Structure 1
Amino acid sequence: MTGSRMLRLACLIAFGASSSFAQQHSKTESVVSLTPAMVEAGSPELIVVRAPHAKSVRGEWLGQKVEFFKREEKWVALAGVDVEGAVGPSTLRISADLDGGVPLDLSRTIEIHPAHYRTGKLTVQPKFVEPGPDELKVIAADAELKAKVFATSVAEPLWHGDFRAPVRAAPTDSFGTRRMFNGKLASIHKGMDFRAPMGTVVRASNSGVVGLARPLYYEGNCVIIDHGLGLYTLSMHFSRIDVHEGQHVVAGDRLGLSGATGRVTGPHLHWAVRWEGAYLDPGKLLRLNLNAIR
């Protein structure tokens, strides 16, 4: 075989392999979709797998198990990237179990882009910046309590349709802000603040079970709702709590009244979204169209 014929054969083989890879990649893209398509640090993600004949779908992303549930001919999961999560390529592993026992690998690479947040400065009581020994004991007990709540999420989706804002008040763009308390960098702000005057009614953003309803050191009077499969919403700084732990709520149910308890500079509502330890942008969750997968 001449050198030119060998070169043409090699090119044909390479083209065939490239074409096969492109077709497989395109097939995976058409079966698996993420919304929003641009994945950023702090972004909640609606993951939809179009595999109507699958008996089950399993997933894993960023070291966390992704729980899928079936809605008509789609398998659906709500997941996300922590606000402090690493950027760059990541692998979303998805496996669909088909009849015959042969799993279908639908894994794909997801590029996580940086989200740009600002720095804010606040002044609070010194005990919330440098707590003493007694306060540290309370903070440790709070952390242990919250860990128990987050470890016992209901093993099915409890939410139905779109999430709604918990109050009728203007939100701020405070999610992800690097917060300086009394001149010291204390934390990344992992929720959305609403300018809710004292006594504003706070309502459930979606269906779920009240996992916690009591005062905490930093959060003040706090309500945590378990929406199932590791997804929670947290509402903080209430002046009054009107629900109890273990209570089932639906979207619009009254949780209590906004206030200024805990580490605050004034009356407002802090509302946070957490999935499997990752804190997600509440504003983006509110913009997700979930009504189609009730």
Structure 2
Amino acid sequence: MQEHPSGVKSDAKPHRSLFERLTALISPIPENRAELLEVLHDAHGRNLLDADALSMIEGVFQVSELCAGDIMVPRAQMDVVDLTKPIEDWLPLVLETAHSRFPAVEGDRDKVVGILLAKDLLRYYAGENFDVRDMLRPVVFIPESKRLNILLRDFRANHNHMAIVVDEYSGVAGLITIEDVLEQIVGEIEDEYDYDEEEDNILRVKDGAHGPKWRVKALTELEQFNQVLGADLQHDDVDTIGGLVSSHLKRMPHKGEEFDIGLLRFEVLRADPRQVHVLLVEKLPPPPAGDAA
């Protein structure tokens, strides 16, 4: 509120200068999402908005457009505990993957009966009377078509962190966590393959069945990739290993997906609907002499 010289207060808005009014006419308020993003990109170009903030705003827009089926961990890549087997059979998986939550199934991945929190297994190590079924938390089922912005709201309201995604036939299609949704906004939060951004583009991480496995940033140049791994990957239109992977598949791969290119096996460690981030690569043995290529 303003006060006139007479002492009477007024709710009138401050008077805008001629320059301000002309500017408003020349640069109208964005009328749709595309125009708003254009304004934000222009603000970034003029150093009024940093890259991280711009990326998060774009992520917020994207969350409202994506569905659970777009970013879920596919059924085949789900790490589950099978309650029909002794705890000793699946406990090594819990220790190896270091997830905080696991879908608990009864013999079949379509029979998800609950969610097991890894921390509840401490009672097993403490030597207490332990029945894993008593430890299970309720499972939440959602359709593949559920929008991520609605799912995030439900996660927060119900204090859930994991949901099982089902297809149109009520079969299990995959799983999704609150972390998966948040990563669409703020980028990667954490996983078992976290690494220092200052590390080399290519890092030897462990030994596989056929030799060392390498963690490779998708932005690694093909020349460097070929030099370190002794490969000979070439492409006329792309310069990075991530670009070559997307070009080879003719689509954007999903997190957890595995595929072969020549004598190299790739596993996608990090990816979102926009780009691949990190790959796990190992060399395969050459086929026996006489076999068809």
Q: Quickly name the TM-score band, shorter chain normalised.
A: under 0.3
Structure with bigger helix share is: 2
When the two structures are superposed, what TM-score results if normalisation uses the length of structure 1?
Answer: 0.28
Structure with bigger strand share is: 1
Which protein, 1 or 2, shows the higher relative CO under an 8 Å CA cutoff with sep ≥ 6?
Answer: 1
When the two structures are superposed, what TM-score results if normalisation uses the length of structure 2?
Answer: 0.28
Question: Which one has the largest radius of gyration?
Answer: 2
